[in-house]
Structure 1
């Protein structure tokens, strides 16, 4: 089976595309200023994509384990199996490193936000009441603006999750196709084995019959039969060529 038709390489290509997109998003995440709504949204998206890719790599590892039980049946060898294991290990390491970096950045960002919120709770006796009123109005405007922005980010995230779900469904469909193909091949092998057993039994029966006939026939009987066939051949030859 060529690589273009091998289900492993089909799924591998989809996972590799997901990893490439994940790395691009991660580089974009690194350039975004911390504690912004865009970074919060991208952080959630990166973590969700990491979880999805890790699940896909785990499923691909399971197929490798199945193929390792009987590599010749799937038309591969130990070298190919080791190559596939190295790729899944490398893919898992790449995703794991990105996930660790994002989680660490998220924890640092939460710490900074908590410190700012704590400072905002401290009373400020040097500001007059009017200033406090203006500050409250500004806070309301900021909250309303931030709420609208969060709604927009949630909508975008929902669309991206829909795309991710469609990708997972495609991978699941490939897995089902592999399963059905294996079942069909197993059925063909079973039918072939049954036919071979039936043919073997028939051959054994014929051989036993021939042996019994040969055993019963005496040497004289065999000579008479040969002479009879020879005379019959001569008669037929004369009738064909001299009449």
Structure 2
């Protein structure tokens, strides 16, 4: 067919419009229902579909008139059939977009009282479950905090006990050294006393024993002070 055939010029314009509306429909499906742009796109697509429907009807009428005298327009039966198929297919695409818009923008069906009650009961149940979970988590957090504080106290007490045992070890070592020193001193004094007893008489021996006992008592008192 010649490139200047009015049918093909109009067909190209219609096809470009269909492609543009399909792109808008893709944008429409990508938006949430609460987005205000979605409503504007739906209106523009609906207006475009109505305009295309009118153009397709006019084009279909023109093809019918041309089919009455195909020799005048140099049209074969195959060409006429091809044009009608394209018009029919394009009309289905336009109607499909309109049906999709009607379904997507239709208000939700009314909810019965029983369904409303069931939804409310389910929401109440879920809310109760959520509150119980939050309360349980709060108790677990409190228990973990108590355990942490107990561990800190036990650790602090353990360190204090360790320090006390270390201090007692030091005192015991010092006491042991004092006892050893006192024992050595007493042993040396005992040797000296025995030597004095051997060198002295019986009277002197009694006096030395008494003096030695006093010295031992004094040393013992100083050793354990």
TM-score range relative to shorter protein:
0.3 to 0.5
Q: Which has the larger radius of gyration?
A: 2
Q: TM-score, normalised by structure 1?
A: 0.44
Q: TM-score, normalised by structure 2?
A: 0.47
Compare relative contact order (CA 8 Å, sep 6+) and give the higher one, 1 or 2. 1
